[in-house]
């Protein structure tokens, strides 16, 4: 199945943004299967490029170096017909966010703080770019306006919604977006 944007142009890539725990990777895999696209997880690309786990990079080099590595990985992307799941902090660097927008439509998976808190059990070891002393609420307060700024579409993900339902909702919204 192909998706088209205005003027009949085939969509290149679809980018899923949102907070850690929003389901970007799982929804991305499901959406890629629905569309016949490939799936690319930028966190795995960072780990491969840096030779370390995300949390190891954060612990040994700090948040700024992590964001530098993430931006470099994002800016290296040059693919077609992929569903891309960048890390939740990709929007924190304008160069990374603008590059993602250049690849295709950006879809924000918006999840409530309460639901994210329920989903994320390993906050200190998950590889989340946050400064010491910051809470998940602090991170969300900083990033939510950035997600809104860079998103072409926003999909609300209510508590209890299956990730497969979210993938279907993304596909339907993309179809409508392309008209």
**What is the chain's pLDDT, residue by residue, as a tens digit (179 residues)?**
344 443 334 458 999 999 999 999 999 999 999 999 999 999 999 999 999 999 999 999 999 999 999 999 999 999 999 999 999 999 999 999 999 999 999 999 999 999 999 998 877 778 889 888 899 999 999 999 999 999 999 999 999 899 999 999 999 999 988 74
* Confidence (pLDDT) at 170: 96
What's phi and psi for 117, nearest 5 deg?
Answer: -60, -35
- Residue 1 is assigned to a structural domain of this protein: no
* Confidence (pLDDT) at 6: 38
Q: Which domain holds residue 106?
A: 6-173
Measured in residues, the chain has a length of 179
Q: What's the CATH code of the domain at 109?
A: 3.40.50.300
Q: Please state, in angstroms and rounded to a whole number, the distance separating the CA atoms of residues 104 and 123.
A: 30
Q: Please state, in angstroms and rounded to a whole number, the distance separating the CA atoms of residues 38 and 57.
A: 27
Other Cβ atoms closer than 10 A to 147: 21
Q: Please state, in angstroms and rounded to a whole number, the distance separating the CA atoms of residues 166 and 47.
A: 27
- Residue 49 is assigned to a structural domain of this protein: yes
- Residue 82 is assigned to a structural domain of this protein: yes
H or E stretch including 42?
Answer: helix 42-50
Question: Tokens representing 108?
Answer: 């924000």
Q: Is 6 exposed, middle or buried (0-12, 13-18, 19+ CB in 10 A)?
A: exposed
* Confidence (pLDDT) at 121: 82
* Confidence (pLDDT) at 122: 79
- Residue 58 is assigned to a structural domain of this protein: yes
- Residue 129 is assigned to a structural domain of this protein: yes
Domain count, the chain: 1
- Tell how strand 38-41 and strand 82-85 pair up: parallel
* Confidence (pLDDT) at 124: 76
pLDDT tens across 46-88, in order? 999 999 999 999 999 999 999 999 999 999 999 999 999 999 9
């Amino acid at each position: 199945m192909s998706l088209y944007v205005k003027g009949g142009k085939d969509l290149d890539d679809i980018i899923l943004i949102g907070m850690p725990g929003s389901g970007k990777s799982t929804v991305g895999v499901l959406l890629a299967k629905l569309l016949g696209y490939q799936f690319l997880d930028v966190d795995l690309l960072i780990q491969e490029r840096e030779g370390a786990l995300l949390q190891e990079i954060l612990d040994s080099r700090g948040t700024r170096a992590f964001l530098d590595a993430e931006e470099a990985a994002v800016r290296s992307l040059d693919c077609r017909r992929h569903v891309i799941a960048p890390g939740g902090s990709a929007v924190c660097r304008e160069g990374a966010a603008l590059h993602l927008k250049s690849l295709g439509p950006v879809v924000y998976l918006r999840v409530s703080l309460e639901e994210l808190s329920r989903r994320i059990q390993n906050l200190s070891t998950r590889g989340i770019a946050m400064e010491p002393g910051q809470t998940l609420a602090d991170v969300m307060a900083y990033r939510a306006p950035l997600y809104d700024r860079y998103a072409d579409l926003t999909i609300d993900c209510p508590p209890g919604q299956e990730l497969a339902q979210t993938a279907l909702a993304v596909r339907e919204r993309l179809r409508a977006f392309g008209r």
